């Protein structure tokens, strides 16, 4: 489930850039943070399993927080400093953590009706003053942990409420979509943390999508750094340009997609693409982003149709389908989400113009994408509209969940990609992965004139 560096706000390439710079104090802190992160990785794998065990008893939902102080050591949880309902203490990091956890819980509860990360009132514990000048913040599967930063490049990590929302959202993704932390599914995992992290901040400030700054980690850099924030969701690649850190490497479109084995396949870099799609959709829909695009993204994150190895194209298709399901095919929301993905250069693998607004159990929607030409073909029809033999074959196929076994088989280059939407499920498979009888069934469906008996 959890993978190396899943839960850290500062990407490893940034710490490595500092570790090779000429700022000796910052170099030492960054190197310590990199080493510590490797140790934590092993601990997290064990701790993930205990998340659900810590849920509070059912009752009237309210946030449960407990803030501790590691007193500059790496011993967790540290000394108890502030529990739920207790007043502020004389330590700004404790109070910021307390408020940030509260803001995150409030967004999930008020906007989405979700009681804490697991939906069952999980207590939110946090530890501040972790390590000496530790350059990171992370969710270890049980608690939020905040470093103080080195004071030269990074300020204390409690300073940005969206950083707190980002880390806790890794916990939500862990218990819902379970997106694998590698490649495109890893970049989606990162992006969802930025999306809901930013929504925590917007919700707390009462900002509309058009008033929001769409920055992640504003205030995290000291005044010595030439940069506005760690990431810019609306304008990826422009957050910083600094002699020590280098330039923000995030691409704004698929044309700039970075193929790398570093950073789990560039999860903190390529997340810029879906980040921008969300920000564009949210601004086009207008109003509060948690009510517009946020509700669509949340439904996809928690809806159960998202595969663990989801790629950008499938995620795009799921959000477009959800927008039409919730608001209608001709709605401004549907248009805004589809246009946002087009702008960032992601072609949805299941963009179904005819997807019905209500998920009719007897309705089938199929798209063929990919292939050398990349031309798309799609059709939506009820099973009753098909020739009897084909309708029966589809029912057998869908009821037995037979297609699922083919979805993980990688497609050949230029292979056709089929997306089948039925019964609220979206399944994608390449033609080389499917038995020929199924390919023929799909092709017959696509070839039938709409409405033909």
Q: 229-251: b or e for each residue (b if 16 or more CB lie within 10 Å)?
A: bbbbbbbbbbbbebebbeebbbb
Closer by beta carbon to Zn ion, 231 or else 325 = 231
| Nearest distance from C-beta of residue 259 to Zn ion, angstroms | 20
State the residue number with the nearest CB to Zn ion: 193
| Nearest distance from C-beta of residue 11 to Zn ion, angstroms | 8
Q: 171-210 mask for Zn ion (x: CB under 5 A)?
A: ----------------------x-----------------
| Nearest distance from C-beta of residue 274 to Zn ion, angstroms | 13
Which residues pair with residue 380 across a beta bridge? 365
End-to-end Cα distance, the chain: 47
Q: Is 268 designated active site?
A: yes
**Which residues from 314-343 bind Zn ion, rule CB under 5 A?**
none
Closer by beta carbon to Zn ion, 95 or else 271 = 271
Closer by beta carbon to Zn ion, 265 or else 350 = 265
Q: CA dist 404 to 425, 427, 429, 433, 434, Å?
A: 10, 7, 9, 11, 11
Q: 151-166: b or e for each residue (b if 16 or more CB lie within 10 Å)?
A: ebbbbbbbbbbbbbbb
The two three-digit tokens of residue 340, written as one number = 């946002």
Number of residues near Zn ion (by CB under 5 A): 1
Whether omega before 77 lies within 30 degrees of 0, making that bond cis, reads yes
- Selected catalytic residue, list 129, 170, 268, 334: 268
Closer by beta carbon to Zn ion, 138 or else 288 = 138
Residue 307 dihedral angles phi and psi, to the nearest 5°: -75, 150
| Nearest distance from C-beta of residue 407 to Zn ion, angstroms | 26
Closer by beta carbon to Zn ion, 301 or else 351 = 301
Rg (CA), the chain: 23
**Containing H/E element for 343?**
helix 332-343
| Nearest distance from C-beta of residue 144 to Zn ion, angstroms | 12
- Selected catalytic residue, list 96, 129, 166, 167: 167
Catalytic residues, which ones? 167, 268
Q: Residue numbers of the site for Zn ion (CB under 5 A)?
A: 193
């Amino acid at each position: 489930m959890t993978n190396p560096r899943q839960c850290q706000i500062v990407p490893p390439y940034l710490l490595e850039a500092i570790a090779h710079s000429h700022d000796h104090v910052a170099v030492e802190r960054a190197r310590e943070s990199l080493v510590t992160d490797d140790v934590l990785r092993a601990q997290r794998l064990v701790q993930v399993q205990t998340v659900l065990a810590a849920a509070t008893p059912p009752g009237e939902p309210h946030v449960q927080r407990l803030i501790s102080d590691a007193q500059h050591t790496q011993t967790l949880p540290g000394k108890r400093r502030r529990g739920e309902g207790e007043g502020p203490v004389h330590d700004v990091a404790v109070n910021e953590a307390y408020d940030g956890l509260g803001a995150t819980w409030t967004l999930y509860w008020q906007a989405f009706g979700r009681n804490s990360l697991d939906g069952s009132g999980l207590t939110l514990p946090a530890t501040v003053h972790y390590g000496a000048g530790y350059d990171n913040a992370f969710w270890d599967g049980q608690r939020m942990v905040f470093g103080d930063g080195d004071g030269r490049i990074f300020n204390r990590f409690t300073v940005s409420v969206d950083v707190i929302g980002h880390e806790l959202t890794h916990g939500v993704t862990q218990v819902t979509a379970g997106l694998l932390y590698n490649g495109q599914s890893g970049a989606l995992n990162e992006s969802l943390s930025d999306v809901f992290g930013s929504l925590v901040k917007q919700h707390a400030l009462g900002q509309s999508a058009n008033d929001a700054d769409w920055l992640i980690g504003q205030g995290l850099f000291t005044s010595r750094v030439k940069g506005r924030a760690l990431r810019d969701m609306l304008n990826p690649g422009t957050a910083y340009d600094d002699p020590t850190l280098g330039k923000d490497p995030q691409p704004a479109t698929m044309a700039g997609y970075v193929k790398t084995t570093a950073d789990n396949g560039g999860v903190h870099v390529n997340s810029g693409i879906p980040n921008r799609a969300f920000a564009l959709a949210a601004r086009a829909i207008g109003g509060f982003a948690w009510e517009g695009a946020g509700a669509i993204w949340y439904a996809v994150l928690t809806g159960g149709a998202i595969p663990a190895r989801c790629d950008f194209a499938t995620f795009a298709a799921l959000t477009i389908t959800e927008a039409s399901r919730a608001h209608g095919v001709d709605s401004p929301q549907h248009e805004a989400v589809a246009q946002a993905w087009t702008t960032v250069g992601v072609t949805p693998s299941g963009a179904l113009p005819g997807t019905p607004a209500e998920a009719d159990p007897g309705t089938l929607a199929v798209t063929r994408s990919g292939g050398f030409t990349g031309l798309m073909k799609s059709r939506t029809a009820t099973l009753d509209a098909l020739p009897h033999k084909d309708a029966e074959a589809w029912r057998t196929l869908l009821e037995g969940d037979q297609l699922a076994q083919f979805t993980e088989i990688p497609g050949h280059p230029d292979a056709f990609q089929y997306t089948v939407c039925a019964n609220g499920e979206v399944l994608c498979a390449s033609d080389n992965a499917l038995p020929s009888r199924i390919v023929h069934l799909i092709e017959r469906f696509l070839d039938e004139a709409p409405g033909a008996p």
